[in-house]
Chains A and B, each alone.
Chain A
Amino acid sequence: MLQQIIALIIIFFFILKLMSQKKKQEISGNEFRIWLIFWLVAALAVVFIKQIDYLVARLGFSGSGINFLIYLAVLALFYMVFRVRLELAKTDKHLTDLAREMALRPKK
C-alpha cells in the first residue's frame, strides 16, 4: 500500500512537470497527450496491481504483475532504441548527402 502511494505521488509529479512543459510550449500537443496517457496508464497499473498480478498468473507467468510490466517496459525500450538508431542513421546519411551537395555546388 505504501509503495503504491509513493509510486502515485511520483507519477503525479511527472504529470505536473508535463503540464508545466505544455504551458511553456516546450512540447507539442501530441507529445503532451502521448505522455499524459502513458502516465495515466502507469497510475492505473499501480492502483490495480493486484488485478494485474491475478491476470498475469492466469496467463501462466510465474513472476508477479510488476515483473511482467517491467519486462514489457524493457522490451518496449529496446524497440524504441532500435527505432531511434534507424532514424539517426537516416539523418546521418542525409547530412552526408547534404554536405556532399554543398561541396560539389559550383562556386560563384
Chain B
Amino acid sequence: MVKIACVIPAYNEAKNIVRVVDSVRPFVDEIIIVDDCSSDETVVCARTTGALVLQHPINRGQGAALETGNTLALARGADIIIHFDGDGQFLAAEIKDMVEPIISGRADIVFGSRFLGKKTNFPAFKRYIIYPLAKIFTRFLLGVKLSDPQNGFRAFSRQAAELIRIENRGMAHASEIQTKAFRNGLRVAEVPITVIYHHFGQRLSGGFKIVRDLLISKIIK
C-alpha cells in the first residue's frame, strides 16, 4: 500500500487553509501543514482540520517550511510526498495525475507545469516576460530543462525526497529542487496542471532575489 503524504506550507492563509485541506483530503493519506509563523489565525484554522500541524517559531520562508514538512513525512513512512500550496491556487483533483508517474514506476519526481496545455488565468506580464526569463536562466545557468521553472506543485518518491534536501529557505528552493533532481540522476516527469491566480504573486523583483540566492548558495557551501 503506497502512503501519500501532502505537505502544505502556509503563511497567513487563515482564509484558505481549511478549504485547501478539505479539497486535498480525498486524494492523500496524510496532510502535514507547516505554518511559517503566520501572524493571523492560520494555525488555529489548520488545527480544526485534523491535519498534522507544525509551527515554525520564526518565519523562515517557503523552502524551509517544505523541508520541515518533508522531514516529518519521511519520518512517518511516506512513500510519496506532494507539495501543495496553501493559497488555493492548485486543483487537488490533479494530485492523482501528479502521483501516477511515480506509482507506475516511470518517474522519481514529478513537476507540475502551467505550460503544457491547461488553461490558466496567467497575468500577461508573467507569461510573456517573467517566466521566459526564468526559463532561460534555469536552462542555461542551472542546466534544468523543464517547461515551468517556478511551480510549487510537485510529487517526490521517497527516494527523491531523501536525496533532495532543500537548503534554500526562500523562493529559490524551486530552482534548487529542480537542479538537484537532475544532478542526482532522478527520473523526472512533467505533468500539465491548472493554476488559478487570485493575485499577481511573485514579481520581477522576486525573480532577482531568487537569482541572487542561487548565486550566493553556489559560492557559500
Contacts and interface: CB of A to CB of B under 8 A. Distances in A.
B68 interface: yes
A103 B216 contact: no
B67 A100 contact: yes
* Dominant secondary structure at the A interface: helix
B47 to A, nearest CB: 11
A89 B58 contact: no
A92 B64 CA distance: 11
A42 to B, nearest CB: 31
A99 B216 contact: no
A103 B34 CA distance: 8
A99 B64 contact: yes
Interface residues of A, number: 12
A103 B57 contact: yes
Contacts of B56: 99-100, 102-103
B146 interface: no
Contact of B72 (A85, A86, A89, A104): A104
A105 to B, nearest CB: 10
A96 interface: yes
A95 interface: yes
B220 interface: yes
Interface of B: 34, 54-58, 60, 64, 67-68, 71-72, 75, 167, 169, 216, 220
